[in-house]
Amino acid sequence: MGRSHCRTLAEQGADILAFDLPGADLTGLRSEIEVLGRRCTTAEVDVCDREAMATAVTSGTAELGPLTAVVANAGVYETPGPGWTVTPEQWQRSLDVNLTGIWNTVSAAEPHLADGGSVVLVSSTAGVKAIANAAPYSAAKHAVVGLARTLANELGQRGIRVNSVHPGSVRTPMIINPRVFARLCPDVENPTEEDAARVLAARNILPVPWVDPVDVSNAVAFLVSGESRYMTGTRLVVDAGLTEKV
């Protein structure tokens, strides 16, 4: 999703400062952005490393100028089983990335964020409804909502808006992998993507199993743009009706 966000915002005229874990194809991303006629600075940084994040943002803004938008997107999906079976390591890893990583991103960005800017925190439908057997993930994603609402109040006097986006299932490797297929289809031997798609489609109001990354990026772009100039502290859900299905 992060790559899609960068590309979508560049298509709408933004220069991009992008971070990802070591080993990510940031060179390829930079090329994609530059083909669109925009500048792109990248750095291999773990969002769990607050000091490294601050250094990377300072370096990037020295080249590109002040930030007008911040999109905190990093996440991991922990589904270890019932909440009481979660190991301390599983719990901590989920909170470190899904919550503290979001906070680290905003903390690093705030000194370089222009008045009137926009901050978008990517949460999940797990931030607005419970997901069984994913206690660390659900807890962290719910906490992101509280963080967004608090930051909206704290940054509002500078004209900075803070909102959260809540995707349902998105067609990325976080969902499209054999481990998740097996959890979705426990009675099927070696379940396929098609098997998983049938299960996920049944959970949504709209007859689709998932949304595409660009669908989430379009929501992010809306919250970054002036078209949402008076929206702050809100939760924008992009889930094909998952959270409203009865």
Structure confidence by residue, pLDDT tens digits, 72-105: 999 998 778 899 999 999 999 999 999 999 999 9
Instruction: Determine the pLDDT at residue 78.
Output: 76
- Structural domain includes residue 190: no
* Residue 188 forms part of a structural domain: no
* 158 occurs within a structural domain: yes
The proportion of the chain whose per-residue pLDDT surpasses 70, expressed as a percent, equals: 100
Residue 193 inside a domain? The answer is no
- Residue the block writes with tokens 């489609």: 201
- For residue 136, give the CATH number of its domain: 3.40.50.720
Q: What's the pLDDT score for residue 209?
A: 98
66 lies in some domain: yes
Task: Enter the tokens of residue 156.
Answer: 């509002």
Mean pLDDT for all residues in the chain: 96
Judge whether 97 lies within some domain: yes
For residues 93-124, one letter each, b for 16 or more C-beta atoms within 10 angstroms of the residue's C-beta and e for the rest, the string is bbbbbbbbbbbbbbebbbebbeeebbbbbbbb
Q: What is the pLDDT of residue 80?
A: 80
Q: Is the pLDDT of residue 174 over 80?
A: yes
What does the alpha-carbon distance between residue 23 and residue 109 come to, in Å, rounded to a whole number?
23
Task: Look at residue 67 and tell me whether its pLDDT is greater than 90.
Answer: yes
Higher pLDDT, 167 or 131: 167
Containing domain of residue 49, as a range?
1-175+210-238
pLDDT at 79: 77
Look at residue 204 and tell me if it is in a domain: no
Q: Please give the model's pTM, rounded to 2 decimal places.
A: 0.95
Q: Annotated catalytic sites, by residue?
A: 137
Tokens 């349902």 -> residue: 168
Contact 229, 237 (CB under 8 A): no
Predicted confidence (pLDDT) at residue 150 exceeds the cutoff of 90? yes
Rounded CA separation 242/211 (Å): 11
Please indicate, yes or no, if residue 181 is contained in any of the structural domains: no
User: Looking at the predicted structure, is the pLDDT value of residue 185 above 80?
Assistant: yes
Domain total of the chain: 1
Q: What is the pLDDT of residue 118?
A: 98
Residue 89: per-residue pLDDT? 95
pLDDT of residue 106: 98
pLDDT in tens, 206-229: 999 999 999 999 999 999 999 999
Give the residue-averaged pLDDT of 116-121: 98
Residue 23 has pLDDT above 80, yes or no: yes
For CA atoms 113, 114, 115, 117, the dihedral sign is negative
